[in-house]
Amino acid sequence: MAKKKPTPTSAEPASLTPQQFRQIAEPFLPTTKSRGASDAERIVKLKASYQLGKRLIDLVPKNSSYGENPIGRFAEALGYSNGRLSLMRRFAAKYTKPEFDELLKTGLTFGHVGLLLSLSDSQRAKFQSEAAKRNWTVADLQLALQQRPDIVKRGGQTMKIADDPGIALRQLVAEGETWKHRCEKTADQIAGKVKISSKLREQIQETAAELQAVAKAVQGVAKRLAGLK
């Protein structure tokens, strides 16, 4: 007689539907999505992201393969991108509680955190302190990181793609999230500060068309991968 397979517990990712995950995540979701929020709202958002990241660490095994990783299902349930949810998980894994408490005092946002997470611990502490002291925007921090003397300029170089398909796809998602974030910040900085000339309008339309083409290409890859047996 065949042994009966154990029923997954509610704490196991495989057993959670997107709706069940949303119920778990609800207490940790930011209560505001407004831009240019007050410092109190900034802190609420950071705490929510950190706490949800901690919950994801419990729910999503670190070494899950691409096919087993439920991040995509969970992100869809919350209306988030895979990259944003993965970033929350990395945020909670990277920052200790004392480091997180210190971050709350700096005035930095989750946008800053997304850039800081790419650094080593010592570099992260250095640039976090500098960004807080100089009151850098996310764009200011991005520029400072690009101008580091120790950084290797990648112009024209081919990005190294991981051999593992799951890791490679997550790299693609992360890269896409980076460019999406840059586009949003650029649009925010331009809005209300310059008059939209016909030439600038053409550039915006061309850029939007190029980004849409990239999005379609990524969707095409996803469909091809989904069709693989």
pLDDT of residue 144 exceeding 80, the answer is: yes
Whether residue 54 lies inside any domain: the answer is yes
> What is the predicted pLDDT for the residue at 155?
45
- What ranges make up the beta strands (E) of the chain? none
Whole-angstrom distance between the N-terminal and C-terminal Cα of the chain? 31
Whether residue 193 lies inside any domain: the answer is no
Q: What's the chain's average pLDDT?
A: 74
Q: What percent of the chain has pLDDT over 90?
A: 26
Q: Which domain holds residue 72?
A: 13-141
* pLDDT-based confidence at residue 126 (cuts at 50, 70, 90): very high
CATH for 119? 1.10.10
> What is the predicted pLDDT for the residue at 28?
77
> What is the predicted pLDDT for the residue at 130?
95
pLDDT of residue 61 exceeding 60, the answer is: yes
> What is the predicted pLDDT for the residue at 63?
52
Residue with the larger pLDDT of the pair 23 and 213 = 23
Whether residue 131 lies inside any domain: the answer is yes
pLDDT of residue 65 exceeding 80, the answer is: no
User: Structure pTM?
Assistant: 0.58
Residue with the larger pLDDT of the pair 85 and 129 = 129
pLDDT digits (tens, 9 = 90+) for 161-218: 656 666 666 666 666 666 666 676 666 666 655 566 666 666 676 677 666 766 667 6
Q: How far apart are CA 186 and CA 114, in angstroms?
A: 16
Q: How far apart are CA 160 and CA 65, in angstroms?
A: 20
Sorted by sequence, the CB contacts under 8 Å of residue 37 that are 6+ apart come out as 45
pLDDT of residue 115 exceeding 60, the answer is: yes
Whether residue 38 lies inside any domain: the answer is yes
Whether residue 184 lies inside any domain: the answer is no
What are the angstrom distances between the C-alpha of 183 and each of 1, 143, 145?
A: 60, 14, 17
> What is the predicted pLDDT for the residue at 107?
94
pLDDT digits (tens, 9 = 90+) for 100-109: 999 999 999 9
pLDDT of residue 160 exceeding 60, the answer is: no
> What is the predicted pLDDT for the residue at 68?
55
Reported as half-sphere exposure (CB side, CA atoms, 13 A), residue 226 has a value of 6
How many domains does the structure of the chain reveal? 1
> What is the predicted pLDDT for the residue at 19?
81
Is 28 within 8 Å of 85 (Cβ atoms)? no
* pLDDT-based confidence at residue 69 (cuts at 50, 70, 90): low
pLDDT of residue 99 exceeding 80, the answer is: yes
Whether residue 199 lies inside any domain: the answer is no
